[in-house]
Amino acid sequence: MSTTQQLELDLTIVTEVEADGVGMGVLSNGAPYLTGRGLARLCGVDHSTIIKITNDWQEVPIKKRISIIKKSIRDMDGDDGSAFLPVQRGGTIYHAFPENVCMAVLEYYALDSGTANDHAKKAYRTLARKGFVDFVYEQVGLSRGASVRDFSTRQFMDRVGTVHGSVPDGYFCVFKEIADLFAALIARDVKIDSSFIPDISVGKAWSKYWRDENLDSVHGMRGKFLHQYPEYYPQSAAGPQEAFCYPEEALGEFHRWMREVYRKANLSTYLQGKVKSGSLPASNATQIIDAYKTPKSIGRT
């Protein structure tokens, strides 16, 4: 695999939506893209046509359709080396079609294919007026120039809003107590969304520790509260779900456990699992683990 391809595989999908049958999204480097089916829908052609274009991209001698599309990409000062960006998603390679390729393919079906295609012409005029980047960003609900950090911060704060006020007085919940972990992830441009929820990992490990150490007898019985995800999370479809909350008396023990047990024994396993699933670039996982290895000491006067 080439260095360029490896760099592309380090990209993750920040967000993806489907609007009027057109799948589109934004990558972790801020680049907008269309899915193969989304590009086909925009061009008014069958998805198999886009597959044929990608299959023919490197063929020699070059076919007329590919030659016209590639020339259009070069005229836009774009890179015609590949029809798509290979991005890892759920452990498989996902095809994200970048701006120059999308506009060149759309231009071909709107102006150069030799057959009347009013659908492609209408879409081409829309994108020519609005601009591809602004079009995609508007559809996914991000502001122009928004970063992965901006996106993750919004997701985290929306989750804070759904939890606020739901935990009974005298108790704490895992989500609110690991805000520093979320901050570390966001600061390193790790995408926080419905596919990457660290508090589930922490909560399961802490619950097991609580049971194994019989901490009910030490700190008092744990309770439950109703936890709700933001409405745009797929998990929200199930409605409010019961989650454990713990006596505030156990806060010191929880923080010690996070520092001495979870961060040393569990965090690496959790992050590596996310790397394998394609939710997290390996470079991010290494940075996060290294950050928590840095020793901290209390200043003396």
Residue 202 has pLDDT above 60, yes or no: yes
pLDDT for 299:
54
| DSSP code at position 168 | P
The overall average pLDDT reported for the chain is 85
Residue 157: what are its φ and ψ, rounded to 5°?
-65, -35
- CA geometry: angle 285, 287, 289, nearest 5 deg: 70
Average pLDDT over residues 153-179: 91
Q: How many CA atoms lie within 13 A of 6 on its CB side?
A: 5
pLDDT for 196:
78
Residue 248 has pLDDT above 90, yes or no: yes
Q: Which residues contact 233 (CB under 8 A, 6 or more apart)?
A: 194
150 band by pLDDT with thresholds 50, 70 and 90? confident
Q: Residue 27's closest CA among 94, 91, 78?
A: 94
Percent of the chain with pLDDT over 70: 88
Record the pTM. Answer: 0.57
- CA geometry: angle 247, 252, 258, nearest 5 deg: 105
Residue 74 has pLDDT above 60, yes or no: yes
Ranges 140-144, 163-167, 259-263: which has the least confidence: 140-144
